[in-house]
Structure 1
Amino acid sequence: MERRDEVTWEPDLLGPGFEQATLPLGADDEGDVVATVVRAMPHPGLRLFGPWRDVDVLYVHGWSDYFFQTDLARIFTDRGARFYALDLRKYGRSIRPGQARGYVTSLDVYDEDIAAALAAMDTERQGRRLVLLGHSTGGLTLTLWAARHPGRAAAVILNSPWLEFQLGPLGRQAVAPLVEVRARFDPRGAHPAVDFGFYTAAQRRLGTLPPAPDGWRPARGFPTHPAWLAAIIAGHARIAAGVDVGCPTLVLLSARSTSPLRWNDAMTSTDSVLVVDDIARAATRIAATVTIARIDGAIHDVFLSAEPARAEAGAALVSFLTGLAR
């Protein structure tokens, strides 16, 4: 166990090479709130001589998720970077009894989680380059955070970021007033289940989804609530209006989408969560320099795809970061 600056690092459930630290965030109406940061450090020799030895990565997961992608972490640590992953409040390692999974009323709340993680990483004081890496809802969260904190990140990498509502811009604008009204009067009300478990089934068929601790990653996702959905739609509206993360950005997407409403074998090689063409268009509004890599055969989490697509995504990531000047 290592303790430094009030951050205590302990062994993580991912096994040797991974440690975690709990980051207290005060309390809300459901009780104590924490975030959890997981880290993987490069081999000592790579810390000194690896090509990315001055890089710190901060990864943020998507909806109904937590960090478990050890192969993704090793892409960075094998090149000398320090890798950190954040389980946001009320997700994964950060779930506490009685909490509504993933529930927030504004994505800006996560500024506290990210600030606590960055303090634990000690990136800024040591003058290291910060690379933000976000998947799905985490990609939306990090995009908005980077736009509110210009100059903090050296690069942003987004893995199928949820930058636009599945109904498209016109659909989002049509439902937004209805969602806002319900969020005001029934913020924690129940929504009909729209996740039929097919995306989870696709990952299991591919063999890329390890068993999760109970309740951390349910097959049909967390229940959703009006106030949370209003926060997501507000984030999409900000993206549509245009933001600037202030640094080069890579967006990794599947080449194609598949409807999530009924099982289709194509779900093992396409995105069955987002409409990737809409995401690609939205991605052009988040930075002055955006590289969009469409990966044939990729699923929603491109790094949980079948091996050829996973390898192509990894190669695109390495090429992108290698091309950035110090």
Structure 2
Amino acid sequence: MPPPDAPAWDATTLTTSWGPDALGDGFEARRLDLADDDEGEVTATLVRHLPDPALRPARAVLYVHGWSDYFFQAPLARFWHSQGAAFYALDLRKSGRSLREHQTPGYVDDLRTYDEEIGAALDVVRAELGPVARVMLMGHSTGGLVLSLWVARHPGVVSGLVLNSPWLELQGSSLARHLSAPAISRLARFSPKAALPNIDPGYYARTIDVATGGDWTVDARWRPTPSFPVRAGWLSAVMVGHAAVARGLDIDVPVLAAVSGRTLISPRWSEDMRTADVVLDVEAIARRAVQLGPVVTLVRVPGAMHDLTLSAPRARERFYAELTRWLVAYGWS
């Protein structure tokens, strides 16, 4: 991250050409103009790790963040760079660098809406690296769900899918989804932007932020604590996605699904939360992961948090080691 005394980075100054990014040295960002919606102008933001001008990689990775989040994991970009891949990250519409004051944070009522910015981002990647470059997608949490559904609808476009604690099912089981889906669907039909009760106690943020014992500095404009309000229409869209995963997606490329070794969801804070997933049910994710396609590798990382790349060093290194081994197995390294 830039030094604390650096001028605040202003996303509204982004253009459709590459320019300085909020992460500072080594990163650039550009605006992706999208179709307007009922809230007016809509954009997404593409971030890239600065390429080596002497090289034109034949491989690239496009990363998509989770709910109430944005891309800030600079070491992840450097990992992919060490693997010989160009790295790009997408801040989805109404999220992170793409969020504007007139917008409802993170809101869509259909996960297929994101097809527009994913397609636009891939167009940029292809334009820079050439049409034959191999592209890997990587998604965290809700971003993992979005990309899983996208890859299933777009066979033959990418070479692989890496999922970091993907949100493939509601906490608990499909029974919770079946019981709650009708009520959420009705509310979404009549009041799609109604805010649901916020149940985020801030424990996950506490495990991450350097000010509360974590290792990372985050921008509270884009990753607030508690998280942005969950809206009925958005949650209904997510549950439709969960139902599609439960039916099976038949993804046509190798999938790596990585999760923490355990879940710890509690109304009271515990230091043990720094070594567990305090957001999602990892057992439910593991059960759903095998339904993504015919070639799925499931990895459980002991001591990892919800975002494996933000975990304590030992768990983080284990995740990167497992990812490297998977890449070698499928001829990507």
TM-score scaled by length of structure 1: 0.93
Q: What's the counterpart of residue 18 of structure 2?
A: 9
**In the TM superposition, what whole-angstrom CA distance separates every residue of 1:265-314 from its partner, at most 9, and x where no partner exists?**
11100000000011001000001111111000000000000000000001
Change beyond 3 A, Cα 1:146–1:260: farther
CA displacement at 1:117 relative to structure 2 = 0.5
Equivalent position amino acid for 2:25 in 1 = P
The aligned runs of 1:1-326 (5 Å cut-off) are: 7-44=16-53, 47=55, 53-122=57-126, 125-204=130-209, 205-212=212-219, 214-325=220-331
Helix, strand or coil for the counterpart of 2:294?
Answer: coil
Give me the whole-angstrom Cα distance separating, in 2, the residues matched to 1:234 and 1:211: 31
CA displacement at 1:261 relative to structure 2 = 2.4
CA displacement at 1:207 relative to structure 2 = 2.6
Give me the whole-angstrom Cα distance separating, in 2, the residues matched to 1:16 and 1:314: 23
Q: What's the counterpart of residue 3 of structure 1?
A: none
CA displacement at 1:259 relative to structure 2 = 1.0
Conservation of the 8 A alpha-carbon contact between 1:42 and 1:80: no
Equivalent position amino acid for 1:305 in 2 = S
Equivalent position amino acid for 2:83 in 1 = R
CA displacement at 1:262 relative to structure 2 = 2.1
TM-score scaled by length of structure 2: 0.91
Conservation of the 8 A alpha-carbon contact between 1:248 and 1:289: yes
Conservation of the 8 A alpha-carbon contact between 2:27 and 2:47: yes
Tell me, which stretches of 5 or more residues in structure 2 are unaligned? 1-14
Equivalent position amino acid for 1:37 in 2 = L
CA displacement at 1:7 relative to structure 2 = 4.2
Equivalent position amino acid for 2:194 in 1 = G
Conservation of the 8 A alpha-carbon contact between 2:28 and 2:48: yes
Change beyond 3 A, Cα 1:152–1:246: same
CA displacement at 1:263 relative to structure 2 = 1.0
CA displacement at 1:44 relative to structure 2 = 4.7
Give me the whole-angstrom Cα distance separating, in 2, the residues matched to 1:323 and 1:66: 30
Helix, strand or coil for the counterpart of 1:153?
Answer: coil
Give me the whole-angstrom Cα distance separating, in 2, the residues matched to 1:225 and 1:260: 23
Equivalent position amino acid for 1:211 in 2 = V
Helix, strand or coil for the counterpart of 1:187?
Answer: coil
Helix, strand or coil for the counterpart of 2:18?
Answer: strand
**In the TM superposition, what whole-angstrom CA distance separates every residue of 1:197-219 from its partner, at most 9, and x where no partner exists?**
0100111245332131x421001
Conservation of the 8 A alpha-carbon contact between 2:188 and 2:232: yes
Helix, strand or coil for the counterpart of 1:33?
Answer: strand
Equivalent position amino acid for 2:26 in 1 = G
Give me the whole-angstrom Cα distance separating, in 2, the residues matched to 1:294 and 1:202: 19
Equivalent position amino acid for 2:75 in 1 = D
Change beyond 3 A, Cα 1:146–1:206: farther
Give me the whole-angstrom Cα distance separating, in 1, the residues matched to 2:216 and 2:101: 25
Equivalent position amino acid for 2:23 in 1 = L
Tell me, which stretches of 5 or more residues in structure 1 are unaligned? 1-5
**In the TM superposition, what whole-angstrom CA distance separates every residue of 1:113-134 from its partner, at most 9, and x where no partner exists?**
1011111111684301110000
Conservation of the 8 A alpha-carbon contact between 2:134 and 2:159: yes
Give me the whole-angstrom Cα distance separating, in 2, the residues matched to 1:297 and 1:167: 21
Give me the whole-angstrom Cα distance separating, in 1, the residues matched to 2:53 and 2:266: 45
Equivalent position amino acid for 2:217 in 1 = P
Give me the whole-angstrom Cα distance separating, in 2, the residues matched to 1:156 and 1:211: 26
Give me the whole-angstrom Cα distance separating, in 2, the residues matched to 1:167 and 1:100: 28
Give me the whole-angstrom Cα distance separating, in 2, the residues matched to 1:38 and 1:262: 37
Give me the whole-angstrom Cα distance separating, in 2, the residues matched to 1:284 and 1:111: 24
CA displacement at 1:252 relative to structure 2 = 1.0
